[in-house]
Amino acid sequence: MNKNQIHPVDQMLPLGQLFAYGLQHVLAMYAGAVAVPLIIANALGLSKEQLIYLINADLFTCGVATLIQTLGFWKFGVKIPIIQGVTFAAVTPMIMIGKTHGLTGIYGSVIVAGFITLLVSPYFSRLIRFFPPVVTGSIITIIGVSLLPVAVRWAGGGNPAAANFGSPSFIALAFLVLLLVLFFYRYFKGFMSNIAVLLGLVAGTIIAIPMGLVNFSEVPKAAWIGVTTPFAFGLPTFDIASIAAMTLVMLVVMTETTGDIIAVGEIIDKPINQDDLTRGLRADGFSTMLGGIFNAFPYTAYAQNVGLVGLTRVKSRYVVAAAGAILVVLGLFPKAAAIVASIPNAVLGGAGIAMFGMVTASGIKTLSKVKFEGTHNMMVVAISIAVGLIPLAVPGFYHKFPSWAQVILHSGITAGSIMAIVLNAVLNDTAKEVEPMPRQEYL
């Protein structure tokens, strides 16, 4: 690329395109964003009003965290198209903390864990020297395959325990949306082709209305304006064991975020260096602290949207910044959030299969550049992917392990990533082959 030429990641698009592309990202991640507040509220027996407040707070903080990550300020934010969302890795520990110490105990541990993440980011980012293509390709592949069950559950209706899960009408709708996404992607040109997922979601929702699968009943009930205020549930409380558990979760989150950032860097043709990774991890830590202050949860890069970047070929970080702005608006206007929430799970499932499959394909593309002859790379790929898929194949496989170990092992992405790093370092003697990264400034 010419030195005077702006990298596609830094290109500003017309306002209309920014909104459409940004909305597409929001719709792709919305179900995952609101799932954690729903799970936490149900587990802790919170009221419906408290649940609505948690969802609004989460959406608002998602938006702020995404703006920090994409636009950046001072030494925070990786400045690539990464959307931030609440991590599922923290769900089980937060429920355990909440049942003992309440929401204030959760928020106290989240704030401290976020601060610790911010402090250790410059040191954790040194691991990037252990992420050659054989490792990154394996991790990206694991991310994609790990996300596919989410799309399949959506396609079946969302809740496997529901009596109507797997209904032919759900599956048919999901398949139709997938066909529509492919049609728009293949036969439309330029901008219209790039918003194939958005068009598929809109068309699928319209088709689902006469099928009786769209429920707008919550829209009239939702308030027009809902402002998130710090410490709405009371001042945070701090428990050492809770803080330790949440800090362990954030170590897992940093591993996953590293994989996601490198994956997006591969897709947008922008190599990620140690300083980039440090800024991205710092943003995770800072956003997690904000989550504890604004009644939300720990934040991380959302793998759901990695595939959308690859599918649309739109590399501008300002597109995802626009998504962040939309999330802030949704957090401030509950009625708008209720409209987005009306999209049926089956519609999301059809689009999700395309997006998450694209993540897997990106991993395979990276692995295609790896030299296998005369190396131990075949074993690195084989074992890391196999270990990463254990929680998908048998979800309860690690249920008798200590709780701290389950936090790591129940995340196939984390377990597979650690395995890929370790195997590559041992079998390929990475420590001797890779030049050390240049020194950088620390906080």
* DSSP 8-state code for residue 299: E
What's the pTM?
0.73
Count CB atoms within 10 A of the CB of residue 23: 19
pLDDT of 310 reads 75
Q: Is 8 exposed, middle or buried (0-12, 13-18, 19+ CB in 10 A)?
A: middle
pLDDT of 354 reads 82
pLDDT of 439 reads 38
The per-residue b/e assignment along 98-113, b for 16 or more CB within 10 angstroms, e otherwise, is: beebebbbbbbbbbbb
Strand (E) or helix (H) holding 67: helix 48-71
pLDDT of 382 reads 94
Q: Which two tokens stand for residue 258?
A: 């590293």
pLDDT of 286 reads 94
Place of tokens 């001042």: 235
pLDDT of 185 reads 83
* Size of the chain, expressed as the number of residues it contains: 443
Strand, helix or coil for residue 294: coil
pLDDT of 92 reads 67
Is residue 241 within 8 Å of 403, Cβ to Cβ? Answer: no
Measured in whole angstroms, the distance separating CA 175 from the mean position of its chain's CA atoms is 24
Rounded to 10 deg, the angle between the 317-332 and 334-341 helix axes is: 110
* DSSP 8-state code for residue 376: S
Q: How many CA atoms lie within 13 A of 94 on its CB side?
A: 30
User: In order along the chain (443 residues), what is the average pLDDT of each group of 10 residues?
Assistant: 70 88 83 74 75 85 93 89 82 79 90 93 84 82 80 84 86 92 83 78 87 77 77 88 81 81 85 90 93 89 76 85 91 76 81 80 83 88 92 86 76 82 82 42 34
pLDDT of 232 reads 87
pLDDT of 31 reads 67
